[in-house]
Amino acid sequence: MKRLLEKIDRINEAIGHGVSWLTTALVLVVCYDVFTRYLLKKSSVAVQELEWHIFATIFLLAAAYALKHDRHVRVDVIYARLSPLAQAWINFAGTLLFLLPFSLMVIWSSYNFVEASFRLRETSPDPGGLPARYILKAFIPLGFFLVFLQGLVMAWQAWQTIQSTKAQKGSG
């Protein structure tokens, strides 16, 4: 079990590092868009769509990486003051009650949406827009699948903290 969870961690770490390079690409595309739009007075639907395609890809594929590194938004005012055991219980319960079911719900509910997009070979509805929008839509269930897997790792780590804290209290 531990090897599987470590593999999930490594996969999300690698994807996170890979996706981080898309941030540089996004900055370059936005700079190009601003330059051509405001200095050359030319606008491109494809460039504007590329901006949000890259952003969506970053958001969806980096979510599990952010979860792995505890970088999601949280009300730290209370959480940070809790004991490691209380934090582990919150992480364990929150993952089992909210994160995992929500991830499964998004994966399940997006399946038909993505499948229809692939079947139709969906493209941009705008003239001059990007082709192959269906590829972008496939990142929805993929991103939440990665979050689900990282949630399993997080729940396991929290459970291990709970068990080791109980063992320490029992032997002390």
Q: What does the angle CA 147 – CA 76 – CA 91 come to, to the nearest 5 degrees?
A: 40
Would you call 74 helix, strand, or coil by DSSP? coil
Integer Cα distance of 11 and 126 in angstroms: 36
pLDDT averaged over every residue in the chain: 95
Which pLDDT value is given to residue 32?
98
C-beta of residue 88 within 8 angstroms of C-beta of residue 140: no
Integer Cα distance of 36 and 46 in angstroms: 13
List alpha helices for the chain, DSSP H.
2-34, 45-68, 76-79, 84-94, 100-120, 133-171
Identify the CA nearest to 150 among candidates 85, 72, 58, 73. Answer: 72
How confident is the model over 121-134, as a mean pLDDT? 95
DSSP type of residue 71: -
Given a cut of 80, whether residue 171 has pLDDT beyond it is no
* Residue that wins the pLDDT comparison between 73 and 87: 87
Tokens matching residue 40: 């050359």
Identify the CA nearest to 152 among candidates 114, 105, 95, 88. Answer: 95
> Considering the chain, what percentage of its residues have pLDDT values greater than 90?
88
How confident is the model over 45-53, as a mean pLDDT? 97
Which pLDDT value is given to residue 68?
97
pLDDT in tens, 145-166: 999 999 999 999 999 999 998 8
Integer Cα distance of 127 and 75 in angstroms: 44
